């Protein structure tokens, strides 16, 4: 079987759509008018991805406030926030360029999603002529909605985590029921968990094992057959062309991440200084039997934070090098991250989000072609 290839999920939102989100926040347009812009950008994303040769497509998350907050708020500014949440929660991350992203704060129970990702899958299935994938958020991210210390009166932390796991399971099951071929779980907080950034207290609490155990509580509810198509995405962040945890030694995460009983992993690598080390660690720690499923390592061969377009030859060379450490039947190709995980992202290194969309398509085309060339060279 040729080396499979898959995108993480997001694409930059056209400036017109970003402006529509802002107008909606300001009450200048209705939700229906915002949705019309989202739908137009989603259709454009799917059609252009199909033209690149991408075998499995998404809407580029055009209808989502962000990869992390789509279940609980319509916009990043907090318009349409779900019940029992306030806007002033923990920082999810502080990025290297100084900007930060903040999560809402849980104020009471019960915790329920307002929007399930299957809504997007249903709409995308009606547009796409190729199989559709959907990225969903991990329970380990949303557990940070709970204040780091203390309890919420009348709603124990334990009850919250039970409710959260049920909601994430439902989110994934509904995506498959709506026709998604693959569902990947965004786990960008994994590497950040060892950051020890005093400005962001949760990153100093050694929470990685807790994250992994919580995520497995959900993943283990699925059969091996289902888990073949449930993935995990890891990265050092990718927002406004900046990162949040590239300085955290990757081994701290990679030595533990494959404890997750998922069938495949979308692993940032192209932007690492020492790629060989990443291939080695993935080869060493990924398992050919994770409770009944072999773990496929999709290696990041494209850097979505740089406007420089990789060549198919570079992609091919990276995959051939990776195959020296990772069995080729468990090797895939991906991008280091989504191209714009948050809806508001002007892609500063690219000059504009519209230009960044064009660049993204060129990069994806190079990945698809490079994976084909590597398959040929490796005889698979």
Q: How far is the CB of 45 from Zn ion (least distance, A)?
A: 17
Q: Which stretch binds Zn ion (CB under 5 A): 15-23, 28-36, 229-237, 242-250?
A: 229-237
Q: Which stretch binds Zn ion (CB under 5 A): 235-243, 254-262, 313-321, 325-333?
A: 235-243
Residue the block writes with tokens 């990153």: 203
The β-bridge partners of 248 are none
Using the minimum distance from each CB to Zn ion, give the nearer residue, 128 or 135. Answer: 135
Of residues 235, 254, 293, 366, which one binds Zn ion by CB under 5 A? 235
Rounded-to-integer distance, Cα 76 and Cα 67, Å? 11
Chain positions 179 to 198 lying near Zn ion, rule: CB under 5 A, are: 188
Q: How far is the CB of 274 from Zn ion (least distance, A)?
A: 19
Residue 85 parent element (H or E):
strand 85-86
What's the DSSP call for residue 333? E
Chain positions 96 to 125 lying near Zn ion, rule: CB under 5 A, are: none
Q: Which stretch binds Zn ion (CB under 5 A): 95-103, 204-212, 318-326, 331-339?
A: 331-339
Q: What is the distance, to the nearest Å, from the Cα of residue 118 to the centroid of all Cα atoms in its chain?
A: 16
The β-bridge partners of 232 are 185, 265
**C-alpha distances in Å from residue 163, one per residue of 80, 202, 213, 330, 341:** 21, 21, 16, 34, 25
Does position 11 interact with Zn ion (CB under 5 A)? The reply is no
Using the minimum distance from each CB to Zn ion, give the nearer residue, 81 or 337. Answer: 337
Does position 337 interact with Zn ion (CB under 5 A)? The reply is yes
Using the minimum distance from each CB to Zn ion, give the nearer residue, 260 or 337. Answer: 337
Neighbours of 91 (CB within 10 A): 17
Rounded-to-integer distance, Cα 63 and Cα 42, Å? 7
Q: How far is the CB of 286 from Zn ion (least distance, A)?
A: 19
Q: How far is the CB of 9 from Zn ion (least distance, A)?
A: 9
The β-bridge partners of 246 are none
Site of interaction with Zn ion (CB under 5 A): 188, 235, 238, 337
């Amino acid at each position: 079987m040729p080396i499979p290839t898959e995108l993480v999920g997001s694409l930059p939102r056209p400036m017109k759509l970003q402006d529509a989100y802002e107008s909606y926040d300001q009450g200048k347009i209705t939700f229906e008018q915002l949705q019309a812009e989202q739908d137009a950008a989603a259709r454009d994303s799917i059609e252009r991805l199909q033209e690149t040769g991408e075998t499995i497509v998404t809407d580029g998350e055009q209808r989502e406030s962000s990869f992390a907050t789509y279940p609980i708020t319509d916009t990043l500014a907090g318009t349409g926030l779900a019940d029992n949440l306030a806007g002033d929660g923990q920082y999810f991350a502080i990025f290297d360029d100084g900007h930060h992203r903040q999560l809402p704060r849980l104020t009471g129970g019960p915790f329920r999603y307002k929007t399930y990702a299957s809504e997007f899958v249903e709409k995308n299935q009606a547009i796409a002529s190729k199989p559709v994938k959907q990225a969903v958020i991990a329970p380990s991210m949303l557990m940070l909605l709970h204040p780091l210390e203390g309890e919420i009166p009348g709603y124990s932390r334990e009850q919250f985590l039970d409710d959260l796991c049920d909601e994430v399971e439902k989110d994934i099951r509904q995506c498959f029921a709506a026709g998604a071929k693959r569902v990947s779980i965004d786990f960008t907080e994994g590497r950040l968990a060892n950051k020890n950034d005093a400005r962001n207290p949760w990153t100093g609490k050694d929470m990685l094992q807790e994250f992994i155990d919580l995520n497995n509580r959900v993943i283990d509810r699925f059969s091996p057959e289902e888990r073949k198509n449930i993935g995990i995405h890891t990265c050092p962040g990718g927002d406004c062309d900046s990162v949040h945890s590239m300085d955290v030694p990757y081994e701290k995460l990679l030595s533990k991440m494959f404890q997750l009983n998922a069938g495949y992993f979308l692993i940032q690598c192209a932007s690492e200084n020492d790629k060989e080390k990443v291939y080695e660690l993935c080869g060493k720690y990924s398992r050919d039997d994770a409770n009944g499923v072999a773990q496929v390592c999709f290696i990041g061969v494209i850097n979505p934070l740089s406007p420089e377009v990789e060549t198919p030859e570079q992609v091919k060379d990276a995959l051939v090098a990776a195959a020296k450490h990772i069995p080729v039947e468990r090797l895939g190709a991906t991008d280091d991250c989504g191209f714009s995980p948050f809806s508001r992202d002007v892609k500063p290194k690219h000059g504009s989000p519209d230009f960044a969309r064009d660049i993204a398509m060129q990069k994806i085309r190079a990945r698809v072609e490079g994976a084909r060339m590597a398959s040929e060279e490796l005889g698979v």
